[in-house]
Structures are given as C-alpha cells and as structure tokens.
Amino acid sequence: MSNRPIFVATHPRACSTAFERVFMTQRKTLRTIHEPFGDAFYYGTERMGSRFENDEEARKKSGFAESNYKTIFDHIMEAAEGKRVLIKDMAYYIVPPDQQEARLAPSLLQLKRGVGTEEDLNEQGGLGLRFGHDSGVDVNAAAPKPSKSPPFPFETRSEPGNPTVIPREILERFHFTFLIRHPRSSIPSFYRCCVPPLLERTGFHDFMSAEAGYDELRRLFDYCKDTGLVGPKVCSPGNSAPEQTNGHVNGSNNIEICVIDADDLLDDPEGVLRKYCQSIGIEFSPQMLVWDDEEDHKVAKQAFEKWNGWHDDALHSKDLKPRQHKHKKTDEEQYSDWVERYGKDAAETIKKCVADNVATYEYLKQYAIQV
C-alpha cells in the first residue's frame, strides 16, 4: 500500500469534520491531522488572511503567531510517528485570496532536493522533507522584509501555473482528494458561526465572503488535474463526468481524480466511503463509521479544540449513519429562514455569496463519486 500522505482539500462547512472522524478510528495505521495550515494562514509570520491582521493580541493568544508554512510541515512529519498521514484542510489556506498571484512561502524556499532514507520517509508519514541552506535557491534575495505588514504578498518567486504558496516538489508528494458541499448549505452554516451566540466562541467577527473557499478549491483542483498530480482516471464517475484527456500519468501509482460531495456522503456513508477508501488504498470496514468510546472522543476533542465553536456536531456525534431525508426547502423558503434568523441585509449577503459559488460547486460536482 502507498505511504503517500493524503491531502483532503475542501472549503468551510463541508461536513469535513464528520468525514475526519471516520478516519480517526484508524489510529493504529493512520495519523489524521486537522487543518494545520490555518495556523500559518491566519496567525503566523507568513499569514495571508486579513481577518486577524489588525488584531495582534488574537494572533498571540492563538499560540501560532510564530508559525509559518515550514513549521507546519515540520509538525506534520513529527506527528506522523511512522504512520500514513491524512490531512484535511481548506484549500484557501494555501492558495492566496482574491486571486492574487501566488508566490512561494519564504520558509519553504530552503527545501533540499531529494529525500532521506526509506526509513526516514516512512517515519515522516511519506513526506521526507528536508530543509537547509544548500537547495540552490538564493534565499537571501527571496526573503521578505521583516518589517513588512501584512506579510503577503511575499517578495519571493512564483512557479508557472502553481496557484499555491507551496513548491510543486512538495505538492507532488501528496495524494490529493477533494470534498465539496452545495453553497446553499455551507454558506449559511459559515454565516451562523460569525454571529452571536457562536461568535463568542469562534472569534470570527463579521462574515467574509472571501473565505467561502470555492474559488481557491477549484484553482487547486484544476492545477492538480491539468498538471498530472491527479488523473486522468476519475474515481467512480457518473455519466456527467467530463472525459479526461490531459495525458498525465503519475508513474506506477496513478492517482484518481477523487471528489466527494457531502450530501452524497450523508445519504450513503458506507457506499461513498468504500469507493473513497479503495481509491486511496485503505481497507474499508463498517467499524470506521462508529466512534463511541472514551478514546475516540478524547482524540477528537484534542484535535478540534483549537477551532472552538466550529465542530460541535462532530464532537457530539457517535457514528455516521445515512441521514433521514427531510423536506427539501425551496430557494424562497430558505431565504425566508435567513431573513427570520439574521435579518434582511444578512439574508441578502448570504444569497449573493451562495449565487457567486454555485457554478464552481456544479463544476466540481461533475467529478464526484457516484454510488
């Protein structure tokens, strides 16, 4: 079985934490790491997000004010403990916001060519990254000015076509998969976390449509698909899946284009996850859908505590069963609900953000696993 680390790229409020809990049951062979890159994106010395840019106290209080993208990778390799790694994270944590030009994170420019021994590679979850000053990169010329605020855009080089701040040499070491949800569900859920009473716990004052995450996810997806990081084969495609002709093959370990739609996952957890596990090279067991002992809950609480208020449903869950279908509300009924809960101005904000992201969702949906 491949030891290549799995990167589940997603956008906010895509039921991704429930998805994570499935794989947290496999602690003997798999190390699940919860949203590590948000530390660097929001709080660290290479932050790209503007949310806490003028709140130094919040950045320090987070405990991640000194984080950067290299320290995140260091943490991932240390946490692997010789197991395969599964990372779930937001695409927009590694893709610059507002379609700004991507420039490589300064801390990642010192990547050494090649990897260590096979033993080192396995111990570090399949990444085997080594950093130093002999990579052939002019580090001094690429370093950002320490006094510059905010840190992004970096004064570093970019890579042709690469929409992320991570060098392709690192991206190539991951097995990328993708998780999506219709914006009519994800956007109102995100908005709810930015207003009282949840606001007091999340600390996310004001809803920012730039954090919806769909555009960044599509750009990462297209880059992976078009340059051979995934594909051309699609995992369990439906009739609407576009035919892939990019011609790229990832050696003998060809990685399928693998997309999960959260609604499909909630309707048929076992069916979707069987196909997903087959695609990533993990043996599926129905026991993965149950997490109801003390150790399960302890591990989840420790993993999710840094994002207080965001994961209550997943924390209090015991399993993942097919949901009972409820009446699907019309667009008009949903809008009325938003007006009642948040007021007309907020409802208009939600409505616009949903509309702005539907086309991107539908594009990615074409590739979703069909059961």
* pLDDT for 303 beyond 90: no
Give the start-to-end residue ranges of the domains of the chain: 6-326+361-365
pLDDT-derived band of residue 242, with 50, 70 and 90 as boundaries? Answer: confident
Question: Among residues of the chain, what percentage have pLDDT more than 90?
Answer: 74
Sheet holding 84-90, edge to edge: 30-34, 84-90, 6-10, 175-180, 259-261
* pLDDT for 314 beyond 90: no
Q: What's the pTM?
A: 0.90
Q: What string of DSSP letters covers 246-313?
A: -----TTSPPPB-EEEHHHHHH-HHHHHHHHHHHHT----GGGGB--SHHHHHHHHHHHTTSTTT-HH
Mean of the pLDDT values across residues 207-217? 97
Weakest mean pLDDT among 46-50, 160-164, 250-254 = 250-254
What SS3 class is residue 138?
coil
